[in-house]
Amino acid sequence: MTEKRLRAAFTNQHKAFIGFVTAGDPTFEKSVAAILALAAGGADVIEVGVPFSDPVADGPVIQDADLRAFATGITTTKVFELVGEVRKKSDVSLVLLVYLNNIFKYGYDRFFSKCKQVGIDGVIIPDLPMEERSEVLPFTLKYQCALIPLVAPTSGDRIPQIVQETTGFVYVVSSMGVTGVRSQLDSNLEDMITAIRKSTDAPIAVGFGIHTPEQAAKIAAIADGVIVGSAIVKIIAENTAVTIEKITGYTRQMGAAIHKGDREKNL
């Protein structure tokens, strides 16, 4: 089961670094190179964003990345081709961040069958309400693709229902609003994580706004993984001769901070 590879990225001794890229940004080939650069830098899981015309959970940085990808002719089919190219060189755990309409248009069975074929371990669907999860769940189970739930600061009493039967990890949204770097994260983050742990033993990763080593270390002290998106996409947007080196260097820097935070927790 490919989702087992996703769970293996989280262990008691090792907190996971999860990096995000938009598929096809700025080109198909450079997007493949960016994913491989994250893997070379030590990323444990890589989110590959499927570009969408109305990405309601994403801020300007990722919206611009979607537009750059669309300009090169990216499609859902080409995203799968891109993953296939990555799989020729890396066995790193990959998950898709994809909006529901893309899956619906592609066809549920066809989409998740393709996920299994190319080696996608899980999917994050930001606009899939908990109440409509049953529309997708049979296909994720059929093709052993983890359906990764999102818990937000407003989830409250719904947390037990949101995280039940999680097979991958729980994605905790650190702050209200859309993606993008932030100087401050939600002050109730630790309470949220405590509430989640009462309802599931699945690993917990925190995203939205994290971009500095200091933030990463603080998150790693209370969670099982740290998710970084916009900061990486900003590096990709520079599109210079040293972009790949910068991605790998940034990944190593953030990974070192995450592991430092983990060590401090256990002192």
Point out the residues that are catalytic.
47, 58
Place of tokens 């080409």: 78
- Which contacts (CB < 8 Å, 24+ apart) does range 234-237 have? 234/61, 234/181, 236/21, 236/22, 236/25, 236/26, 236/30, 236/34, 236/65, 237/25, 237/26, 237/61, 237/64, 237/65, 237/68
Q: Which two tokens stand for residue 47?
A: 């989110």
Which residue's entry shows tokens 């996920």? Answer: 115
At how many degrees (to 10) do helices 243-265 and 230-238 cross? Answer: 160
Select from 42, 106, 109 the least CA-distant residue to 78.
106
For residue 75, give the 3-state DSSP assignment.
coil
Q: How many residues does the chain have?
A: 267
**Residue at token pair 């189970």:** 141
| Token pair belonging to 54 | 């109305």
- Please answer whether residues 206 and 153 qualify as being in contact, where contact means their C-beta atoms are separated by less than 8 angstroms: no
Assess contact for 47 and 95: CB atoms under 8 A: yes
Cα separation, 264 vs 267, in Å, equals: 5
